[in-house]
Amino acid sequence: MTDEPRSGARAVDRAIEVLNCFDGDDPELSLSELAHMAGLPVSTTHRLAQALVRGRLLEQDSSNDRYRIGHGLASLARPALTRLGLDSAAPHLYALAAGIRITVSVGVVEQRDALTVFQARPPEWFCPNQVPRARQPLRASAVGHALLAFSPTSTIVEEHADQRDPRPVRPGGLHSHLDRVRRSGFASELIPTDDPIRSVAVPIVGPNRQVRGALAVQARSARLDDELVRRILPAMRTAAGRIAPLFQTASGPMDSAV
């Protein structure tokens, strides 16, 4: 690959491509990883990354030269969090996380994915298994199922059918599974890993039964067993009810099917 002539608009587009590389599970990336993921020459990526470091949108670890999101980007994100109502909702989410001793996350619909927009970690008992992926397929995640189940089911499942997801649809079909989620009031999904992880989600339903998002927890399935799920569900539902009037999605609320 060779560098193309630089222009203001093209440079901005490429800088955005570099920042978007961090929209995943890896908190730090090397220069070569950034270049590969962004599809840019290493020299171009280095120039852009250094400009982003100077602008505090990225940080570079001096011990290994790897890049990560900078504090400047977090500062720029604060108005968006305020607009979502998450600044007002945060105390309720941190109180829930401390009470159940599991990280609490909030997810919203973005195209065919459930996008994690906030996490509240407990002061103790935290482990990496409690951190959800930044994006999860709507039709193959507990957060996605909670969002879909309490939204208009006549069209929403087909609209969000994701051919990229390699996992098969559940026996009986997704419609049947979402019916069970509606009846139980929560979604549960087992994430297959060497040490399986369980995710549990409840809808955030605002005025007029409008679905605004989903509140979720996840942990090792050996810990987050049926007994613990039964114990924490009332607290999760209470917290979801408390933040629902405060919480606004950028794309507007989703109509409820119940």
CATH code for the domain of 241: 3.30.450.40
Q: Give residue 90's pLDDT.
A: 86
Show the domain range for 134.
77-255
Q: Give residue 251's pLDDT.
A: 46
Q: Give residue 50's pLDDT.
A: 93
Does any domain span residue 204? yes
| Co-location of 94 and 151 in the same domain | yes
**Where among 69, 88, 112 does a domain terminate?**
69
| Co-location of 51 and 166 in the same domain | no
| Co-location of 134 and 50 in the same domain | no
| Co-location of 239 and 166 in the same domain | yes
| Co-location of 34 and 121 in the same domain | no
- The per-residue pLDDT for range 96-134, each reduced to its tens digit, is 999 999 999 999 988 888 988 888 888 877 677 888 888
d(CA 257, CA 149): 8
pTM of the model: 0.67
Q: Give residue 192's pLDDT.
A: 87
DSSP codes, 66-87: -EEE-HHHHHHHHHHHHHHTHH
Total number of domains constituting the chain: 2
Point out the residues of the chain with pLDDT beneath 70. Answer: 1-8, 24-26, 74-85, 126, 152-172, 248-258
Does any domain span residue 196? yes
- The per-residue pLDDT for range 195-217, each reduced to its tens digit, is 899 999 999 998 778 888 999 99
Does any domain span residue 3? no
d(CA 10, CA 235): 49
Q: Give residue 100's pLDDT.
A: 94
